[in-house]
Structure 1
Amino acid sequence: MSGEYEFIVVANRLPVDAAEDGEWRRSPGGLVTAVHPIVRQHKGAWVGWTGAPGEVPEPFGFDGMFLRPVGLSDDEVDRYYEGQSNATIWPLFHDAVEQPVHQREWREAYHTVNRRFADATAEFAAPDATVWVHDYQLMLVPAMLRERRPDLRIGYFLHIPFPPVELFMQLPGRADLLRGLLGADLVGFQRPLAAQNFLQLTRLLLGLDPKEDRVEVDGRTVTAGAFPISIDVAEIEAEAADTEVQAQARRLRQELGDRRVLLGVDRLDYTKGIEQRLAAYGELLAEGSLSNDDVVLVQVATPSRLRVTQYQQLRERVEREVGRINGEFGEVGKAPVHYLFQSRSRAELVAMYLAADVMVVSPLRDGMNLVAKEYVAARIDERGTLVLSEFTGAAAELGEAFLVNPHDVEDAKRGICAALDASPDQQATRMRAMRATVRAHTVDRWAREFLDALSATG
């Protein structure tokens, strides 16, 4: 059985959220921003979960796309999504910053849900269609889909880091995950080393014989490569040029007491280095290297995975440290840390980017980090500085940032101070170079290069 859609994206989530009025709204986030225009251009389909357990809506059209919802029960949300995906694979793929948890029933649910995604995709794909599967929640889908529909051209892209060989080897069911990825014609990663790790594992675990960037399996050739993701630069630049957004940035600086602004914008996740960032800032205040009269830290922490124990504990630790710093170094009406545990609109974030003297992006591990690129794109004034973790994919592209090791508090402090001390000329030179890089490598180019490489396979 085959359907009518010649281009299908398969991702854990649909590109829409249910609004209070019962209508659907386009979701924020990097994947939707990157891929939505391509699906619309191809008049294609998107297979994904609505984000809520229970009853599954009928397939429906939205903004030039056909959306095919996949249902999850409450139990599957617990086991497939919050369990195997986010308490096992996520931490292990992020260098085991938190200890991964391994449970057999989670792996079984992950298999069941991946099969459901593959079946839904097989049903709606036209003969010889192109299917693009995304991210760590669906690592088994390519092989399952290949089994059902060998006629399809299948690409897979991993948005998070792919771990070193010795970490991947710790995973129960590791060979199954590797075989799942090998169902694709093209397996894409953020960085070249990730592709090398993947190919090395095919030899160690499956006895295959990878050559350069490809490996033969079951009479097919599977190619692995790096395709660093980016952002919609034109959209960010348009927001930054908006007079109301610029006015909002000026108001924000005034409300913060016309102090120099350090800005952090992250999901509240233990991989993002928020605790280490607060520790470095607190020490700088304690030493007198920074003063509450002169500098303020604004930390936006977008709520994330609120039902997962590790995230609940992280929130408690972060909010306790914010309270300690504000209690020790603050004054009435002048806090050294403004902490926002909330989501912000794109326009609000761009206003914050324009208001910030220093953007601090210091994850312990990150596949790319699009916030760093958004900040650079927003600085059409060629001012501001970027402190960037060496352990982000973005660090390979944005070498003019002040690169730091977030695990080393002293190095993080050094980077923050150097960024604050940069002269206007130094800021302009660094920002101009980073903007040239970001403008040359847009999300459109990322998608085009991946799909062109996928078309060339087979």
Structure 2
Amino acid sequence: MEPVLSAAQPSTTPGVTSSFSTKGQFGEFDFIVVSNRLAVDRVVDEHGDSSWRRSPGGLVTALAPVMAKADGAWVGWHGAPDETLEPFDEANMRLVPVPLSEEEVEFYYEGFSNATLWPLYHDVIASPEFHRTWWDCYRRVNERFAAAAASVAAEGATVWVQDYQLQLVPKLLRQARPDLRIGFFNHIPFPPLEIYGQLPWRRQVIEGLLGADLIGFQRPSDASNFLRCVRRFTGYPVRTQQVQVPADENGTPAYVSRAEAFPISIDTASIAELAQRPDVIERSREIRAELGDPRHILLGVDRLDYTKGIGHRLKAYGELLDDGAITVEDAALIQVASPSRERVEQYRLLREDIEGTVGRINGTHDTMKNTAIRYLHHSYPVEEMVALYLAADVMLITALRDGMNLVAKEYVAARTGNTGTLVLSEFAGAADTLRQAILINPHDIDGLKSAIVQAVGMPRAEATRRMRLMRRQVIQNDVEQWSRSFLDALQAEDRRHGD
């Protein structure tokens, strides 16, 4: 199928204004997802032949059934810079690749998305950088994504835009295709007004998001933060969760945009199914045996990111070893830290710091037979992750700021026998619903140490009671329910306003 539109060129105005037009032409797809990455990964075999396979992520899992039913297309970058691909069909959906140059990957993705927005939206744990060249590139790339989505959308189609890399797309789509029903979901936190206000392009980003009929956030507090920013930086009327967006000079009529919390979840059934597979159970036993079969195994699973509180976790664990509250003969900590954004200087320095801390703790406490911390800087397939969840008596989530933290929910889903204990940061979105976890403030090292000791020594009956309640919550609110609730609410917005 030939695309109706070509990639958008830079707009001539400093705000967020569409620089492309549909000229009355429509695509053929009724449901479109727009995300930074496509729903497939390129795989190269031993012979050098390449193919595509569906990405294992939760978002793809949640939306693939919707795609199959609704004649869907997925718009995103295919992962290789300076390469242009035509739309193709794979995994029962149309894939629409958006090309990015090497410079755009550096400026739009590594720069504005992950060195400006990511630290800003995570409460400035690291200092954000503000560069006009990054912003200009971010705007141009958002225009290209919007143009690609508009080109394949049928008249009156539903378009669901995903995450902070594409916050300008909703308004661009509304300007070009006012017939569309537009949703947006922000997978990371939205910061308080006092922090968000540092962004030089704060109004442009808010107006970009307000192009959506429905804007979803992980937590009610994120939606509240957003609405406070709307009041402060636009002056638009806000009633409860609704924003009255006035008509603009480009001819876009007045409309209502709604902000609401839709906490994301996981494919609970598939995790539970893996947890009951004999080979996965056997692998969990092997993991315990490889560690010397300690009485207690503690587990941390994180992307190597400064928001995850890995250093705080290691500090608390090291002090427990120093105090003698935990010994290497009785307990072992497995820390999985998957590689992340390794070309960014802050992440390279973080890896050096974490690995140095692990080395110091192990150097002090290891014996010939026992290792205090087994540090694994790898990514693992889901089967191995579930085996780790089964092997671990205690799961440690010490995020300093996290939109949700799906690892916490995966651990709970995997504990089909209602055993195990979850130590969970109150600054992770999962803390809103997994209230039976041991909730901690990761900045309070003494409190974190006490929580670890409590988790290790928790009576089995108490641990079982807590885990049973958490598993019920995760089972009832899986990722399919999340996508269904968002899309149902988006349809309701359409009916409410009589469009």
Interval containing the TM-score (normalised by the shorter chain): over 0.9
Indicate the SS of the match to 1:456.
Answer: helix
Is residue 326–residue 335 contact of structure 1 (8 Å, CA) maintained in 2? Answer: yes
Please give the secondary structure, in 2, of the residue aligned with 1:305: coil
Residues 1:10 and 2:46 aligned together:
no
- Residue-by-residue CA offset, 1:14-59 (whole Å, 9 max, x unaligned): 1111112301122233322332332233230000011221112211
Quote the residue 2:15 is aligned against. Answer: none
Contact 2:292 2:369 in 1 (8 A): no
CA contact (8 A) 2:121 2:190 kept: yes
* Residue identity matched to 2:335: Q
CA distance in structure 2 between the partners assigned to 1:285 and 1:192 by the alignment: 38
Q: How does 1:402-421 map to 2 (within 5 A)?
A: 402-421=438-457
Q: How does 1:132-147 map to 2 (within 5 A)?
A: 132-147=160-175
Indicate whether 1:242 and 2:277 are aligned.
yes
Superposition pairs for residues 41-440 of structure 1, below 5 Å? 41-218=69-246, 219-259=254-294, 260-440=296-476
Tell me, in whole angstroms, the C-alpha distance in 1 between the residues paired with 2:399 and 2:62. Answer: 22
User: 1:165: how far off?
Assistant: 0.8
Amino acid at match of 2:80: A
- Aligned to 1:19, the other structure's residue is in SS state strand
Distance 1:447 1:247 in 2: 34
CA RMSD of aligned residues (A): 0.9
TM-score, L = length of structure 1 = 0.99
Count of aligned residue pairs for this structure pair: 458
Shift >3 Å, 4+ stretches: none
Task: Determine helix, strand or coil for the equivalent of 1:422.
Answer: coil
2:17 match? none
Matched residue SS, 1:155: strand
Answer with 172-181 or 198-207: which moved more: 198-207
Query: Contact conserved, 1:30 with 1:370, CA < 8 A, in 2?
Result: no
Equivalent residue number for residue 16 of structure 2: none
- The one-letter code of the counterpart of 1:97 is I
* Secondary structure in 1 matching 2:442: coil
Q: Deviations over 1:277-311 (max 9, x none)?
A: 11110000011110000000001111111111111
Q: Percent identity?
A: 55
Q: Report which of the two structures shows the higher radius of gyration computed on alpha carbons.
A: 2
Q: Which runs of 5+ in 1 are unaligned?
A: none
CA shift digits 1:357-410 (9 cap, x unpaired): 000011000010100000000000110000000001100100100111011111
| Aligned equivalents of 1:28, 1:176: Cα separation in 2 | 33
Q: TM-score, normalised by structure 2?
A: 0.91
**In structure 2, what residue type is equivalent to 1:228?**
P
Q: Bigger CA drift: 71-80 or 195-204?
A: 195-204
Q: Which residue pairs with 2:64 in the alignment?
A: 36
| Counterpart residue number, 1:452 | 488
Residue identity in the other structure for 1:43? D
Q: CA deviation at 1:448?
A: 0.6
In the alignment, the residues of structure 1 paired with residue 83 and residue 428 of structure 2 have an alpha-carbon distance, to the nearest angstrom, of 38
* Match of residue 20 from structure 1: 44
How far did 1:213 drift? 1.0
Question: One-letter code of the match for 1:262?
Answer: L
Deviation at 1:197, TM superposition (A): 1.5
Shift of 1:354: 0.4
- Taking the aligned partners of 2:459 and 2:70, their CA distance within structure 1 comes to 47
Cα drift, residue 253 of structure 1: 0.6
3-state SS of paired residue (1:225): strand
The separation in 1 between residues aligned to 2:369 and 2:287, in whole angstroms, is 15
> Given residue 244 of structure 1, which amino acid in structure 2 is its aligned partner?
D
Residues in 2 aligned to 1:33 and 1:275: alpha-carbon distance in whole angstroms: 32
Alignment partners' CA distance in 2, 1:34 and 1:258: 37
Amino acid at match of 1:245: V
Contact (CA 8 Å) 2:58, 2:267: kept in 1 or not?
A: no
Q: Alignment partner of 1:23: what SS?
A: strand
Distance 2:360 2:133 in 1: 41
> Given residue 177 of structure 1, which amino acid in structure 2 is its aligned partner?
V
